Chain A
Amino acid sequence: MPRFTFHRLWAIVLKEFVQMRRDRVTFGMMVGIPLMQLMLFGFAINSDPRHLPTALRLGDEGPYARAFVAALRESGYFALTREAASEAEAAALLQRGEVQFVINIPHDFTRRLLRGERPAILLEADASDPAATGPALAAARALADSIFDRDLDGALSRLRARPGPVELRVHAHYNPENITQYNVVPGLMGVVLTMTMVVITALAITRERERGTMENLLATPVRPFEVMVGKIIPYIVVGYIQVTLILLAARWIFHVPLVGSLGLVYAVAFLFIAANLAVGITFSTLARNQLQAVQMAFFFFLPSILLSGFMFPFRGMPEWAQWLGSCLPLTHFLRIVRGVLLKGSGPADIAPELWPLLLFVAVAMAVGVKRYRQTLD
């Protein structure tokens, strides 16, 4: 039995360090990924989202109504970004995801308040992501009970009795039971596609180069375009199989109410798959070996999953993180898929999320094809 020697162990350790230093990309990733995680988890993620965009439908301009609205704003959870003139306009704002909440204050609010009739304030919420709306709704409920305690003094102090002077009615749209799976399962479609499409394409082309088969391929009459598209098509098919599996699971295992058009989901999925494949191809032109390709894919996947609104409410993040998140295709795809499946959004509703996705595909494809060309000569 040969004895353990420190010299031999040290020889291996030294060799590993030298090789680690040679592979600059891997070394960079080893430092870069923890840094990125630190930034994202430390600064970007917030499970208590505040300043959520809110539309106001104010039927009563009286001081009590104004005080109520001001108190909501003061709570920090509601940012009054829009005024809705009609119920239809308010519904459209919710549908498109432009606002998270709509506050409806009826025209006879002051009169009924003073009569002690407990006027109702209707707080409509886009509850498709329960994590985003939960804290804000809790704050609003607490507020409704105690808001006028200071204003209702003297002869009016009898109105301070419990239950509170106003009734807060909450309509949680799209997901009234606040079931997290309703939000997560459709979102998973985007996450799974991002993970597999980027890694697989990055690997498929890098592998061809690493094994030396690329040179052979290029010596044949096959065109670079044919190689690239030919490599992509099988994975588009795989992507669609994944989409189908997730939709089946959503329907039959998680019982997610799929209210929108599945055709629209499949159509947008094509764009999203294309976006991820383009990223994968770009990585494959940058990576010198398969390990680097996987690391680059991870480098893309991590912010995608954290900043897109899949795991944590998008609107809870600071502005810079939201801006970063808006550059990622997953962010827009999530909104589209959730919009279509949970809210029944149509093509017009998803248009604001569609063009960033298109832009991303165009830019990523252009970079990918250009980089791919450069690697030939």
Chain B
Amino acid sequence: MSAPAPDLAIDVRGVTKRFGGRAVVNGIDLQVRRGEIYGFLGPNGSGKTTFIRMLCGLLTPDAGAGTCLGYDVRRQQDEIKRHVGYMTQRFSYYEDLSIRENLDFIARVYDVPDRRRAVDRSLERLGLGKRSRQLAGELSGGWKQRLALAACLIHEPQLLLLDEPTAGVDPKARRDFWDEIHRLAGEGLTVLITTHYMDEAERCHRLAYLAYGNLLTRGTVAEVVRDARLTTWTVTGPELARIGRVLRGQAGVDQVVAFGNTLHVSGRDAAALDAVIGGVVDDAHTWTRGSASLEDVFISLMDTARDNFA
């Protein structure tokens, strides 16, 4: 085993997992620096959850190697489990235990020193103190998510793996959650987080995009947008649906996506796209040429991936 680079919390190469002969995760390389918030994006079923399960020692990769917090992901799964906090996609604490009982149980399982104080501290920090006797099953989505976060932090992990932590949580609670994540990262915790929300993706230090088990792009938001080399025209005005029908399928137009009262028309070949737009531009609409948004880029990646791998 090679000595892990000290500033990398996750350093894996060629990680592959097959289920029934199909590669769900296909040779993924990923490096995440300590203290970084790393966003993991991709359509449903793209292999994000499977990849995370391999990182935290729940699954053994079929191929590939690497380290998580300096521990070998194939052989030192027990060490990894001790230092990683994993928040599953679905709420997975005991609904028939109270908040305090759940935290106390997890603290015991991790053999947390001075357990009672650790539980009190965690209740207090996440604002769960007044609700500590409430059964977890009675909590709303936002409070369940707080409890889950508190529980996976109780053993003071160095790495947090969060699998769609904000699915089904209201905007205010999501914002509070992200403020908390940034505060934790500021204290040196590394966070790998999967999400489908663009605003959350933009709050990550760096991103990776997965589709059909393949890692398609990664980097900062700016790098991901730049690397996509996508040109986007924004159209506002009446009858956008008709304009969409006219543009769709024309050479040079790779995607036409409606965003409320605007239409985003994107293409990788800027010259060809400009030529098409030149043919349909009119005075009834406002036509603006600009760079693509992150969402345009992801939709484009998803479409390309479907052509290549599906």
**A residues adjacent to B (C-beta < 8 A):** 211-222, 377
Contacts and interface: CB of A to CB of B under 8 A. Distances in A.
Contacts of A211: 92, 95
Interface of B: 56-60, 78, 81-82, 84, 86, 88, 90-95, 106, 109-111
Contacts of A216: 86, 88, 92-93
Given A212-B91, A216-B92, 14 more contacts: A211-B95, A212-B90, A212-B92, A213-B94, A214-B92, A215-B58, A215-B88, A215-B92, A219-B58, A220-B109, A220-B110, A221-B78, A221-B110, A221-B111
Cβ-closest 6 pairs across A and B: A216-B92, A219-B86, A212-B92, A212-B90, A220-B109, A221-B81
Nearest to A219: B86
Nearest to B90: A212
Contacts of A217: 109
17 contacts: A212-B88, A212-B90, A212-B91, A213-B94, A215-B58, A215-B88, A216-B86, A216-B88, A219-B56, A219-B58, A219-B81, A219-B88, A220-B106, A220-B109, A221-B78, A221-B109, A377-B59
Contacts of B78: 221
Contacts, number: 39
Contacts of B59: 377
Contacts of B90: 212
B60 A377 contact: yes
Contacts of A212: 88, 90-92
Contacts of A377: 59-60
Given A221-B82, A221-B110, A213 B93 contact: yes
Is the contact region of chain B dominated by helix, strand, or loop, or is it mixed?
loop
Contacts of A222: 109
A217 B84 CA distance: 13
Nearest to B82: A221
Contacts of B106: 220
Contacts of B111: 221
Contacts of B95: 211
A221 B78 CA distance: 6
A201 to B, nearest CB: 18
A211 to B, nearest CB: 7
A220 B91 contact: no
B57 to A, nearest CB: 7
Nearest to B49: A215
A150 to B, nearest CB: 76
A221 B111 CA distance: 9
Contacts of A213: 92-94
A221 B40 CA distance: 25
A216 B93 CA distance: 7
Contacts of B94: 213
Nearest to B85: A219
A273 B189 CA distance: 47
Contacts of B109: 217, 220-222
A377 B19 CA distance: 11
Contacts of B86: 216, 219
A211 B92 CA distance: 7
A211 B88 CA distance: 12
A222 B107 CA distance: 12
Contacts of A214: 92
Nearest to B56: A219
A377 B62 CA distance: 11
A234 to B, nearest CB: 14
A219 B93 contact: no
A211 B91 CA distance: 9
Nearest to B79: A221
A221 B110 CA distance: 7
A140 to B, nearest CB: 60
A352 B193 CA distance: 61
A216 B52 CA distance: 13
A167 to B, nearest CB: 68
A220 B81 contact: yes
Contacts of B84: 219
A41 B6 CA distance: 71
B44 to A, nearest CB: 17
A221 B80 CA distance: 9
B150 to A, nearest CB: 13
Which of A212, A215, A217 is most buried by chain B, counting CB atoms within 10 A of its CB? A215
A218 B86 CA distance: 10
Contacts of B88: 212, 215-216, 219
Contacts of B56: 219
Nearest to B161: A219
A215 B90 CA distance: 10
A316 B57 CA distance: 56
Contacts of A218: 58
Contacts of A220: 81, 106, 109-110
Nearest to A376: B58
A220 to B, nearest CB: 5
A230 B286 CA distance: 68
A215 B49 CA distance: 12
Contacts of B58: 215, 218-219
A358 B277 CA distance: 82
A103 to B, nearest CB: 61
Which of A212, A213, A217, A221 is most buried by chain B, counting CB atoms within 10 A of its CB? A221
A139 B95 CA distance: 63
A222 B92 CA distance: 16
Nearest to B137: A211
Nearest to A214: B92
A166 B224 CA distance: 107
B110 to A, nearest CB: 6
A217 B81 CA distance: 11
Contacts of B110: 220-221
A17 B145 CA distance: 37
